[in-house]
Amino acid sequence: MLLDKLKLEKIKGDASFRSFYRKGSFNKTSIIVYAYKEKKKNLLIYDAVNKLLVKNKILAPKLLSQNYKKNFIEIEDFGRNTIFDLLRKNLANKENIYKESINLLNKIQKIKQNKIINFKGKVYKLPIYSKKILFSEAKLFTNWYTKKFISKKKLTKLNFLINKQIKFLLSNIKLRNKVFVHRDYHVSNIMNYKGKLATIDTQDALWGHIAYDLASLIDDVRFKSNKKLKKKVYNYYVKSNKIFSNKNYFLNDFEILSVLRNMKIIGIFSRLAVRDKKKKYLNLIPHAWKLIELRMKNNKKFKTLKDILNNNFPKKIRNLK
């Protein structure tokens, strides 16, 4: 493999089928992204989305070189400091850091363009984040998680009831798809680069709901924030954003998307453990449950789902890693 001939430092990866390496030293470094599976999404589409962001004056990694045949691209290096790192170190600045992340999100959501030319000279258009896709994602909960704790005798009926409630919640989303959605906009995917915020891990971007990325940021399974901070960040976003007019509709959709996203996350982490032998993500499942509980608490639309989950997944199960 060509990568073997380069002097590379392997760096921490994510849950995708990718490996990351830092090339060079001192101030002249770059990142090699190697995709051993799903290279179209992880290389070609990743760069296309980054290009779209850069064109709209959003800091995202620029392509430096590509060897698509050999399954890798070389991109700009934004360093080692994620917002996650800043939040852990600068306890007094949490609110300001989140506000800066909201400011970046507002810029991203002002993007009007949904097409870009990729490095193969073809047009790439952001797909629509349809309710069909949202349903297939939330259904990962019943595909991968429920069978771990529920007997085969009860499983089919329970999965049917949960999936029915997922469809019900999706039918109650009020606002339409009309903004760029990063789809994984959390503190580990926002970098502090030369005093500015940049975003990475953009390959799953879609054209979708305005509340989705906010739910990803505020109800982040990887970083625990208290209710007071969550409320402040949510209110800051609402005050700073003029794209939507009905605040009640927005809150309704925010809560639904947060719950469905965290159900999806529980399903994904369960799948990673079983299928890919990546068990470290199981440690995050108890917090994902807490986020689901938080958002279901005051919205009557969650009553049936809440009862189903409470009857079948008591706290003893939810706390399991």
pLDDT, tens digit, for every residue of 193-210? 999 999 999 999 999 999
Q: Catalogue the E-assigned strands of the chain.
A: 8-11, 18-25, 28-35, 63-67, 72-76, 115-117, 123-125, 179-181, 190-193, 196-199, 206-208
Do 275 and 128 contact (CB within 8 A), yes or no? no
Does the pLDDT of residue 6 top 70, yes or no?
A: no
Do 181 and 212 contact (CB within 8 A), yes or no? yes
pLDDT, tens digit, for every residue of 139-168? 999 999 999 999 999 999 999 999 999 999
CA distance 18 to 9: 15
From-to residues of CATH 3.30.200.20 in the chain:
2-76
- The predicted model gives 1-8 an average pLDDT of 59
Does the pLDDT of residue 2 top 70, yes or no?
A: no
Question: First CA to last CA across the chain, in angstroms?
Answer: 37
- The predicted model gives 259-274 an average pLDDT of 97
Do 298 and 259 contact (CB within 8 A), yes or no? no
- Of 16-30, 169-183, 264-278, the range with the lowest mean pLDDT is 16-30
- The predicted model gives 57-85 an average pLDDT of 95
Does the pLDDT of residue 317 top 90, yes or no?
A: yes
From-to residues of CATH 3.90.1200.10 in the chain:
83-318
Does the pLDDT of residue 4 top 60, yes or no?
A: no
Q: Does the structural domain 2-76 have CATH classification 3.30.200.20?
A: yes
Predicted TM-score (pTM) above 0.85:
yes
Does the pLDDT of residue 19 top 80, yes or no?
A: yes
Q: What is the CATH number of domain 83-318?
A: 3.90.1200.10
For the record, the structure tokens of 169 come out as 């919640």
